[in-house]
Amino acid sequence: MSSQGDSVRKITKTRKVLTLSEKNAILDKLSRGETCASVNRMYGMDESSIRTIRKHQQKIRASIIASASASTKTTSYSGNEAIEKMEKALVLWIETQTSKRISLDNVIIREKAKSLYHDITLRKDQRGTDTINDWN
C-alpha cells in the first residue's frame, strides 16, 4: 500500500526570467494605459511581478540604455550603472581584440574590466556623483 504522501506530487512553478527587452515591452504596454491584470494575462505572470517591473521602471530603462546588445539577452535585473557601462565597453573591446586575432584569457579580460570600471567611476567622481566600488 502506498501512503497518501506518495500519491501527492508537489507542483513547483518555474521561475521565469525576463530579458530587458521583454520588460521594456511590458513597460510600454503599461504606459499606453493597459492594466497590470491584462498584461499579467498576456505574459502568464503574477500581477505582483508586473507591478514590480513598473516600480523599477527608471532602473530598467537606464539598464536598457547602458547595456550592450549581448548582455540584454541575459540580464534579468537592473544593476549598478557603472558596471553596466563597463560591460558594454568590455564587450566592444573583446570584439575588437578578437577581430584583430589577439588571444585573450581570463586574467587579461579581468584586468581590462577592472581598468574600464575604474575609468568609468573616476569620470563619475569628477562629475560629483557618488559611486560604489564593488571590485576587490
Confirm if 81 and 64 have CB atoms less than 8 A apart.
Answer: no
Q: How many domains does the chain have?
A: 2
Residues 6+ apart with CB under 8 A from 81: 62, 63, 66
The answer to the question of residue 8 being in a domain is no
The answer to the question of residue 71 being in a domain is yes
Helix then strand count (H, E) for the chain reads 8, 0
With b meaning 16 or more CB within 10 Å and e meaning fewer, what string describes 94-118? beeeeeeeeeeeeeeeeebbeebbe
pLDDT value at residue 100: 92
pLDDT bracket for residue 7 (50, 70, 90): low
Number of residues in the chain = 136
- Say whether both 70 and 91 belong to one domain: no
72 has a pLDDT exceeding 70? no
Mark which of 28, 45, 76 sits at the end of a domain. Answer: 76
Rounded-to-integer distance, Cα 80 and Cα 57, Å = 15
pLDDT bracket for residue 117 (50, 70, 90): very high
pTM of the model: 0.50
Identify the DSSP state of 77: S
pLDDT value at residue 70: 46
Q: Identify the residue whose cell numbers are 571590485.
A: 135
Rounded-to-integer distance, Cα 19 and Cα 39, Å = 16
39 has a pLDDT exceeding 60? yes
- Say whether both 86 and 72 belong to one domain: no
Percent of the chain at pLDDT > 90 equals 30
**Mean pLDDT, the chain, integer:** 79
Domain of residue 63: give its range: 17-76
